[in-house]
């Protein structure tokens, strides 16, 4: 199988630079006229699949909103991931897992192993038990052709307490995470498979020029991030940027045509990423 980075580069070129979230939080379920239960969750997910499958480069289910319904919610997630991946749409599981040793290995196998019913094209991980603790996910992803997106500089204000701290060499912790990811991507011909997450609402981002991998930028739209913010924060690495938009598009639902229109308008805003 080709690498995740190669498949992502192809998807961005053919479908535009956009990641759309499937975020079935209670307010959206209610706004769509659905119950805040597993039936509502299933219908919400089905509508999102119909609207986004084959239309956007990446679809990102927010795992927590499925887990809250227990095993039934995870069954819906399994079906959602399977349908999207079965038709060739890249799926990024937004699980933000991070642990050590055998526990991290189990998380890695959940999201990146061929035999797992939740196997996705990529997963988000947290490096704040140390970047080295992510080795089980990074190594398994390299073996199975899947990707890992490492939280580097998140948009929540609390994140700066850790991410902006300075190491002895003067780098911020966030920059060190980007540099570690870059080392994993060394030698990739087209686009490495280890990405980073950098919030689009930040005043300043780590230096991304040597990453040689994808940059997921959440926070666009409802959270206040704009296309100009993406252009500013990712200067020097624009072709690897994947803006993540969720609520701004999802509020157009439950109409599938309206959701697709919202996607088209959003893709237009980021046409400069492909110039």
Residue 207, phi-psi category: left (phi > 0), alpha (psi -120 to 50), beta (remainder): beta
Contact between residue 92 and residue 122 where contact means Cβ atoms under 8 Å apart: yes
Instruction: State whether the Cα torsion 167-196-48-76 is positive or negative.
Output: negative
Contact between residue 163 and residue 136 where contact means Cβ atoms under 8 Å apart: no
* Closest C-alpha among 34, 62, 66, 64 to residue 47: 34
24 vs 197: CA distance, rounded Å: 21
* Closest C-alpha among 209, 269, 222 to residue 17: 269
The pTM score is 0.96
pLDDT at 74: 98
Which DSSP category does 126 fall into?
-
pLDDT at 144: 97
- Domains defined for the chain, CATH in brackets: 4-163+227-274 (3.20.20.70)
Burial group, residue 258, by CB count within 10 angstroms (0-12, 13-18, 19+) = middle
pLDDT at 275: 73
Q: Which residues lie across from 94 on neighbouring strands?
A: 62
- Token pair for 233: 């924060």
Burial group, residue 243, by CB count within 10 angstroms (0-12, 13-18, 19+) = buried
Per-residue confidence of the chain (275 residues) as pLDDT tens digits?
A: 799 999 999 999 999 999 999 999 999 999 999 999 999 999 999 999 999 999 999 999 999 999 999 999 999 999 999 999 999 999 999 999 999 999 999 999 999 999 999 999 999 999 999 999 999 999 999 999 999 999 999 989 899 999 999 999 999 999 999 999 999 999 998 899 999 999 999 998 999 999 999 999 998 877 788 999 999 998 878 889 999 999 999 999 999 999 999 999 999 999 888 77
- Concerning whether 60 is annotated as a catalytic residue, the answer is no
């Amino acid at each position: 199988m080709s690498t995740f980075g190669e498949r992502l580069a192809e998807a961005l070129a053919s479908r535009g630079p956009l990641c759309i979230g499937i975020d079935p939080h209670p307010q959206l379920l209610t706004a769509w006229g659905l119950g805040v239960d597993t039936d509502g969750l299933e219908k919400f997910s089905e509508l999102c699949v119909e609207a986004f499958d084959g239309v956007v480069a990446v679809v990102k289910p927010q795992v927590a909103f499925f887990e809250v319904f227990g095993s039934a919610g995870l069954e819906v997630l399994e079906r959602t991931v399977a349908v999207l991946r079965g038709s060739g749409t890249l799926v990024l599981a937004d699980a933000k897992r991070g642990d050590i040793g055998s526990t991290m290995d189990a998380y890695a196998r959940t999201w990146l192993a061929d035999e797992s019913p939740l196997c996705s094209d990529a997963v988000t991980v947290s490096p704040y038990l140390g970047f080295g603790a992510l080795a089980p996910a990074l190594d398994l992803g390299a073996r199975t052709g899947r990707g890992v997106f490492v939280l580097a500089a998140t948009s929540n204000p609390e994140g700066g307490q850790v991410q902006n701290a300075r190491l002895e060499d003067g780098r911020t912790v966030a920059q060190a995470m980007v540099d570690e990811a870059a080392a994993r991507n060394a030698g990739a011909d087209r686009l490495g498979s280890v990405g980073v997450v950098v919030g689009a609402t930040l005043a300043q981002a780590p230096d991304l020029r040597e990453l040689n991998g994808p940059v997921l930028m959440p926070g666009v739209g409802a959270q206040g991030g704009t296309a100009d913010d993406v252009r500013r924060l990712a200067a020097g690495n624009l072709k690897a940027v994947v803006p993540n938009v969720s609520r701004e598009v999802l509020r157009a639902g439950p109409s599938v045509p309206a959701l697709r229109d919202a996607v088209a308008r959003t893709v237009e805003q980021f046409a400069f990423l492909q110039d």
